[in-house]
Amino acid sequence: MPEEKTNETNSRSRRKNNNQENKKDFFTQIIITQIVVVAMLTALVFAVKKVSPDSFAILKNVYHSAMEKDINLKDVFINKKSVCLGQGGDDISVFSPQSGTTFSPYYISSEICTPVSGTISSPFGYRVNPVTQEFSFHSGVDIAADSGKPIKAAYYGIVSEVGYDDTSGNYIVLTHNNSLVTKYLHCSEIIAEEGTVVRSGETIALVGSTGRSTGPHLHFVIEIDGKKADPLYVMNVNDNKV
Protein backbone atom coordinates (compact mmCIF):
# COMPACT_ATOMS: atom_id res chain seq x y z
CA MET A 1 0.00 0.00 0.00
CA PRO A 2 2.71 2.56 0.85
CA GLU A 3 4.40 1.75 -2.46
CA GLU A 4 1.13 2.37 -4.38
CA LYS A 5 0.67 5.72 -2.65
CA THR A 6 4.23 6.67 -3.51
CA ASN A 7 3.67 5.82 -7.19
CA GLU A 8 0.42 7.79 -7.27
CA THR A 9 2.12 10.77 -5.64
CA ASN A 10 4.96 10.64 -8.15
CA SER A 11 2.45 10.43 -11.02
CA ARG A 12 0.58 13.48 -9.79
CA SER A 13 3.84 15.36 -9.39
CA ARG A 14 4.86 14.54 -12.97
CA ARG A 15 1.46 15.67 -14.32
CA LYS A 16 1.73 18.91 -12.36
CA ASN A 17 5.22 19.56 -13.70
CA ASN A 18 4.06 18.82 -17.26
CA ASN A 19 1.14 21.25 -16.89
CA GLN A 20 3.45 23.95 -15.60
CA GLU A 21 5.84 23.38 -18.49
CA ASN A 22 2.97 23.52 -20.99
CA LYS A 23 1.78 26.79 -19.48
CA LYS A 24 5.28 28.22 -19.68
CA ASP A 25 5.57 27.17 -23.32
CA PHE A 26 2.16 28.70 -24.08
CA PHE A 27 3.00 32.05 -22.48
CA THR A 28 6.43 32.02 -24.10
CA GLN A 29 4.79 31.61 -27.53
CA ILE A 30 2.41 34.49 -26.78
CA ILE A 31 5.27 36.78 -25.73
CA ILE A 32 7.34 35.87 -28.80
CA THR A 33 4.33 36.48 -31.08
CA GLN A 34 3.69 39.88 -29.49
CA ILE A 35 7.34 40.88 -29.89
CA VAL A 36 7.29 39.88 -33.58
CA VAL A 37 4.04 41.78 -34.23
CA VAL A 38 5.32 44.93 -32.49
CA ALA A 39 8.57 44.75 -34.47
CA MET A 40 6.67 44.39 -37.76
CA LEU A 41 4.36 47.31 -36.94
CA THR A 42 7.33 49.48 -35.95
CA ALA A 43 9.09 48.66 -39.21
CA LEU A 44 5.90 49.41 -41.16
CA VAL A 45 5.52 52.81 -39.47
CA PHE A 46 9.08 53.83 -40.32
CA ALA A 47 8.70 52.52 -43.89
CA VAL A 48 5.49 54.51 -44.46
CA LYS A 49 7.02 57.62 -42.93
CA LYS A 50 10.08 57.31 -45.17
CA VAL A 51 8.12 56.70 -48.38
CA SER A 52 5.34 59.24 -47.72
CA PRO A 53 5.89 61.70 -44.85
CA ASP A 54 2.45 63.24 -45.52
CA SER A 55 0.66 59.96 -44.75
CA PHE A 56 0.41 60.73 -41.04
CA ALA A 57 -1.01 64.18 -41.72
CA ILE A 58 -3.62 62.60 -44.00
CA LEU A 59 -4.56 60.05 -41.32
CA LYS A 60 -4.79 62.84 -38.75
CA ASN A 61 -7.18 64.82 -40.95
CA VAL A 62 -9.28 61.71 -41.60
CA TYR A 63 -9.54 60.98 -37.87
CA HIS A 64 -10.24 64.64 -37.05
CA SER A 65 -13.04 64.93 -39.58
CA ALA A 66 -14.56 61.63 -38.44
CA MET A 67 -14.62 62.82 -34.83
CA GLU A 68 -16.44 66.03 -35.81
CA LYS A 69 -19.54 64.35 -37.20
CA ASP A 70 -22.48 65.11 -34.90
CA ILE A 71 -24.47 62.03 -35.86
CA ASN A 72 -26.05 59.30 -33.81
CA LEU A 73 -27.38 55.78 -34.28
CA LYS A 74 -30.90 57.04 -34.79
CA ASP A 75 -30.23 59.02 -37.92
CA VAL A 76 -26.84 57.97 -39.30
CA PHE A 77 -28.10 55.55 -41.96
CA ILE A 78 -31.27 54.25 -43.54
CA ASN A 79 -32.26 50.71 -44.54
CA LYS A 80 -31.24 49.30 -41.17
CA LYS A 81 -31.49 45.63 -40.30
CA SER A 82 -31.83 44.34 -36.76
CA VAL A 83 -29.42 41.66 -35.58
CA CYS A 84 -29.42 40.02 -32.16
CA LEU A 85 -26.17 38.59 -30.83
CA GLY A 86 -26.25 36.21 -27.86
CA GLN A 87 -28.59 36.34 -24.92
CA GLY A 88 -29.42 38.98 -22.36
CA GLY A 89 -28.43 41.99 -24.47
CA ASP A 90 -30.11 44.56 -26.68
CA ASP A 91 -30.47 44.18 -30.43
CA ILE A 92 -27.61 45.61 -32.45
CA SER A 93 -28.66 47.66 -35.47
CA VAL A 94 -26.65 47.12 -38.64
CA PHE A 95 -26.86 50.01 -41.11
CA SER A 96 -26.03 50.44 -44.78
CA PRO A 97 -25.25 53.82 -46.40
CA GLN A 98 -27.60 55.59 -48.77
CA SER A 99 -27.32 54.67 -52.43
CA GLY A 100 -24.95 56.92 -54.38
CA THR A 101 -22.88 57.87 -51.32
CA THR A 102 -19.85 56.55 -49.51
CA PHE A 103 -18.32 57.10 -46.09
CA SER A 104 -15.08 55.36 -47.07
CA PRO A 105 -11.82 57.33 -46.93
CA TYR A 106 -10.23 58.09 -50.29
CA TYR A 107 -7.12 59.67 -51.77
CA ILE A 108 -6.69 62.31 -54.50
CA SER A 109 -3.17 62.70 -55.86
CA SER A 110 -3.48 66.46 -56.42
CA GLU A 111 -3.57 68.68 -53.35
CA ILE A 112 -6.92 70.41 -52.89
CA CYS A 113 -7.30 74.17 -52.92
CA THR A 114 -9.84 74.99 -50.20
CA PRO A 115 -12.77 76.57 -52.11
CA VAL A 116 -13.47 79.08 -49.35
CA SER A 117 -12.17 79.52 -45.83
CA GLY A 118 -14.70 79.55 -43.02
CA THR A 119 -16.48 77.57 -40.32
CA ILE A 120 -17.97 74.15 -41.02
CA SER A 121 -21.64 74.76 -40.29
CA SER A 122 -22.85 71.32 -41.36
CA PRO A 123 -20.74 68.20 -42.08
CA PHE A 124 -21.26 65.42 -44.59
CA GLY A 125 -23.78 62.74 -43.60
CA TYR A 126 -27.18 62.42 -42.01
CA ARG A 127 -28.49 65.38 -40.04
CA VAL A 128 -31.59 67.36 -39.12
CA ASN A 129 -32.17 69.61 -42.13
CA PRO A 130 -32.15 73.22 -40.85
CA VAL A 131 -34.84 74.21 -43.36
CA THR A 132 -37.26 71.25 -43.24
CA GLN A 133 -36.36 70.07 -39.69
CA GLU A 134 -36.38 66.49 -40.99
CA PHE A 135 -33.68 63.80 -40.93
CA SER A 136 -32.06 63.73 -44.36
CA PHE A 137 -28.76 63.04 -46.03
CA HIS A 138 -26.37 65.98 -46.46
CA SER A 139 -24.42 65.30 -49.64
CA GLY A 140 -21.56 67.72 -49.00
CA VAL A 141 -20.06 70.02 -46.42
CA ASP A 142 -21.40 73.50 -45.62
CA ILE A 143 -18.79 76.21 -45.06
CA ALA A 144 -20.19 79.41 -43.56
CA ALA A 145 -18.57 82.53 -45.03
CA ASP A 146 -19.39 86.17 -45.75
CA SER A 147 -21.65 86.85 -48.70
CA GLY A 148 -19.65 87.84 -51.77
CA LYS A 149 -16.47 86.06 -50.66
CA PRO A 150 -14.64 84.47 -53.64
CA ILE A 151 -15.11 80.73 -54.21
CA LYS A 152 -12.08 79.02 -55.73
CA ALA A 153 -11.81 75.93 -57.92
CA ALA A 154 -10.69 72.99 -55.79
CA TYR A 155 -8.74 71.42 -58.66
CA TYR A 156 -7.79 72.07 -62.27
CA GLY A 157 -10.74 71.21 -64.49
CA ILE A 158 -13.49 72.22 -66.90
CA VAL A 159 -16.72 74.02 -66.04
CA SER A 160 -19.17 71.30 -67.09
CA GLU A 161 -22.39 72.91 -65.85
CA VAL A 162 -23.74 76.23 -64.57
CA GLY A 163 -27.33 76.69 -63.48
CA TYR A 164 -29.99 77.49 -60.90
CA ASP A 165 -32.69 75.53 -59.12
CA ASP A 166 -34.92 76.20 -56.12
CA THR A 167 -32.89 73.96 -53.81
CA SER A 168 -29.28 74.54 -54.90
CA GLY A 169 -29.67 78.16 -55.93
CA ASN A 170 -26.91 79.34 -58.25
CA TYR A 171 -24.50 76.45 -58.74
CA ILE A 172 -21.43 75.52 -60.75
CA VAL A 173 -20.04 72.05 -61.50
CA LEU A 174 -16.42 71.27 -62.40
CA THR A 175 -15.24 68.05 -64.03
CA HIS A 176 -11.61 67.25 -63.25
CA ASN A 177 -11.20 63.82 -64.88
CA ASN A 178 -13.29 60.77 -65.67
CA SER A 179 -13.91 60.02 -62.00
CA LEU A 180 -13.67 63.31 -60.07
CA VAL A 181 -16.34 66.03 -60.01
CA THR A 182 -16.80 68.98 -57.63
CA LYS A 183 -19.93 71.08 -57.10
CA TYR A 184 -20.43 74.52 -55.55
CA LEU A 185 -23.96 75.52 -54.47
CA HIS A 186 -25.92 78.54 -53.13
CA CYS A 187 -23.62 81.04 -54.87
CA SER A 188 -24.62 84.70 -55.08
CA GLU A 189 -22.94 84.96 -58.48
CA ILE A 190 -21.31 82.59 -60.96
CA ILE A 191 -18.16 84.00 -62.53
CA ALA A 192 -16.68 81.17 -64.62
CA GLU A 193 -18.53 80.34 -67.83
CA GLU A 194 -19.65 76.89 -68.85
CA GLY A 195 -17.12 75.09 -71.05
CA THR A 196 -14.09 77.06 -69.88
CA VAL A 197 -10.95 75.57 -68.34
CA VAL A 198 -10.16 76.74 -64.80
CA ARG A 199 -7.01 76.34 -62.77
CA SER A 200 -6.86 75.24 -59.15
CA GLY A 201 -7.39 78.30 -56.98
CA GLU A 202 -9.07 80.35 -59.71
CA THR A 203 -12.18 82.28 -58.61
CA ILE A 204 -15.27 80.66 -60.13
CA ALA A 205 -18.13 82.12 -58.06
CA LEU A 206 -19.07 84.17 -54.99
CA VAL A 207 -20.54 82.99 -51.69
CA GLY A 208 -24.27 83.56 -51.31
CA SER A 209 -27.50 82.24 -49.86
CA THR A 210 -29.54 81.49 -52.97
CA GLY A 211 -31.92 78.55 -53.17
CA ARG A 212 -32.94 76.68 -50.02
CA SER A 213 -30.56 78.21 -47.51
CA THR A 214 -30.59 79.72 -44.03
CA GLY A 215 -27.61 82.03 -44.52
CA PRO A 216 -24.54 82.74 -46.66
CA HIS A 217 -22.40 79.64 -47.10
CA LEU A 218 -20.87 77.31 -49.67
CA HIS A 219 -22.28 73.82 -50.03
CA PHE A 220 -19.27 71.94 -51.40
CA VAL A 221 -19.61 68.48 -52.96
CA ILE A 222 -17.01 65.94 -54.07
CA GLU A 223 -18.10 63.05 -56.29
CA ILE A 224 -15.80 60.11 -57.03
CA ASP A 225 -16.96 57.60 -59.62
CA GLY A 226 -20.48 58.98 -59.29
CA LYS A 227 -20.60 58.63 -55.49
CA LYS A 228 -20.72 61.58 -53.13
CA ALA A 229 -17.89 61.43 -50.59
CA ASP A 230 -16.94 63.44 -47.52
CA PRO A 231 -14.88 66.48 -48.66
CA LEU A 232 -13.25 66.76 -45.23
CA TYR A 233 -11.15 63.68 -45.97
CA VAL A 234 -8.96 65.82 -48.24
CA MET A 235 -9.32 69.20 -46.53
CA ASN A 236 -7.25 70.64 -43.70
CA VAL A 237 -9.55 71.03 -40.69
CA ASN A 238 -8.57 73.00 -37.60
CA ASP A 239 -11.01 73.77 -34.77
CA ASN A 240 -13.95 73.06 -37.09
CA LYS A 241 -12.63 75.54 -39.65
CA VAL A 242 -11.12 75.17 -43.11
**pLDDT digits over 119-141, tens only?**
999 888 776 677 677 766 778 99
pLDDT value of position 61: 52
pLDDT value of position 35: 79
Task: Tell me how long the chain is.
Answer: 242
pLDDT value of position 138: 79
| Higher pLDDT pick, 134 / 160 | 160
pTM: 0.60
Separation between Cα atoms, residue 126 and residue 151, nearest integer Å: 25
Residue 5 makes CB contacts below 8 A (sequence gap 6+) with none
The architecture in CATH of the region 102-234 reads Distorted Sandwich (2.70)
pLDDT value of position 72: 40
Domain boundaries, the chain: 2-51, 102-234
Separation between Cα atoms, residue 140 and residue 183, nearest integer Å: 9
What integer best gives the mean pLDDT of the chain? 76
- pLDDT surpasses 70 at 76: no
Q: Give the residue-averaged pLDDT of 155-180.
A: 96
Q: Give the residue-averaged pLDDT of 52-72.
A: 47
| Burial class of residue 174 (count of CB atoms within 10 Å of its CB; 0-12, 13-18, 19+) | buried
pLDDT value of position 47: 61
Cβ distance 236 to 62 under 8 Å? no
